[in-house]
Structure 1
Amino acid sequence: MFKYIAAGALSLFLFASVPALAQTTLRVMGVRKNDVLNIREFPTNQSRIVGVIPPDGTGIAKTGEREGNWVFVQYNGVEGWAYTAFLSREVRRGGPMSE
């Protein structure tokens, strides 16, 4: 029993000592407050709109896939293409675990 408790304590110590990793995400910029950024099925202006991101949208995950001025993104369960001129990089850092 003692070795299980010791192993658990060691695991928690090692986990707590590892610095939090930064996750790069995107945020919307340059979109009017009464407008949205469209998420499209394909990387063209004529493609079907599959979702929208509000003008203050943050936490937009990028997949790394790019085509011209378009990037493939995931936002609130929707995947599709967004125009890069309206996206900016944001870095979110994880904080310490709360007790």
Structure 2
Amino acid sequence: MMKRTLIASVSAITLAGAASAQVAANATTDLNLRTGPGPSFEIPGVIPADGAVEIERCIAEGAWCEVSYDGQTGWAYSQYLTATVDSEPTVVYENYAPLEVTTVERNSLGGGLAGAAVGAAAGALIAGPVGAAAGTAAAAGGLLGGAIGADAGIEETTVTYIQDNPVEPVYLDGEVVVGAGVPQGVAVYEVPEAPVQYAYINGRPVAIDPETRQIVYIVR
């Protein structure tokens, strides 16, 4: 009887460990690490493109996942995370089951995380294709006369103007990444003598290509 109980206990521990196992993933672009599962939460850090994270859990009916990166825990948008399934990189969003990611219901979260969804969002960011961020940045470099590079960013005067002239913030479903598209209904603003427009979206000032309405630079 004792042996049977011991086996049952070991099995329960094993199953619990499997259920809470972390899933390794990588960011496909520079990706905000937020304090909660939504675009209105603060951003204490950024996961760099190709940065390796461990996924702790994801919102069952959403795209936000709690991850750990470089000793820091936060929430990241899983449309810009990939993990491996059958030796193939797979977008984490909508693939929680095949990736065996632990999922939770939003209303089960404590600490003010459950009810902090976007609410009356002004729309949704148009997600760029996975892996397209580098190409978008390169295109932006041409748009800005080569100003955008690996470290250069846009012209300092443009960044200064955007920072010194804040506008009404807008919160959209999704995450601000280079290559994401801004919906037509969102107001954007001119930068004098610069080939970009700008807006404050999801807590970040962003520079936008006026022709494509794609985000080409994020002021951090």
**Where in structure 2 are the equivalents of 1:63-82 lying within 5 Å?**
63-66=56-59, 68-82=62-76
Query: 2:35 aligns to what?
Result: 41
Paired residues in the alignment total: 63
Cα distance change of structure 1 residues 24 and 69 upon mapping to structure 2, 3 Å threshold? closer
The amino acid that maps onto 2:36 is F
For 2:39 and 2:82, the matched residues in 1 are separated by 19
Secondary structure (helix, strand or coil) at the match of 1:63 reads: strand
TM-score, reference length from structure 1:
0.56
For residues 3-58 of structure 1, give each alpha carbon's deviation from its aligned partner in whole angstroms, at most 9, with x where no partner exists: xxxxxxxxxxxxxxxxxxxx7401011x2xxxx20100011112100211101212
Specify the SS of the correspondent of 2:44: strand
Paired position in structure 1 for 2:55? 62
Aligned 8 A contact 1:50 1:78 in 2: no
Gaps of 5+ in 1: 1-22, 92-99
Cross-structure match for 2:145: none
The 4+ residue runs of structure 1 with deviation greater than 4 A are none
Q: Tell me which amino acid in the other structure corresponds to 1:57.
A: G
* Unaligned residue ranges in structure 2 (runs of 5+): 1-21, 86-220
- Deviation digits for residues 59-80 of structure 1, max 9, x if unmatched? x111124251100000001101
One-letter code aligned to 1:86: Y
Distance 2:50 2:75 in 1: 18
CA RMSD after TM alignment? 1.9
Distance 1:25 1:48, change over 3 A: same
In structure 1, C-alpha distance between the alignment counterparts of 2:23 and 2:81, rounded to whole Å: 13
1:66 is matched by which residue type in structure 2? I
Identical pairs, percent: 37
For 1:63 and 1:24, the matched residues in 2 are separated by: 7
Q: Aligned partners of 1:45 and 1:24: how far apart in 2?
A: 23
The question of whether the paired residues in 1 share the 8 Å contact of 2:64 and 2:75 is answered with yes
Q: 1:1-99, aligned counterparts within 5 Å?
A: 24-29=23-28, 31=29, 36-58=30-52, 60-66=53-59, 68-90=62-84
Which structure carries more relative contact order (alpha carbon 8 Å, separation 6+)?
1
Q: In 1, are the aligned partners of 2:57 and 2:66 still within 8 Å (CA)?
A: yes
Structure 2 partner of 1:3: none
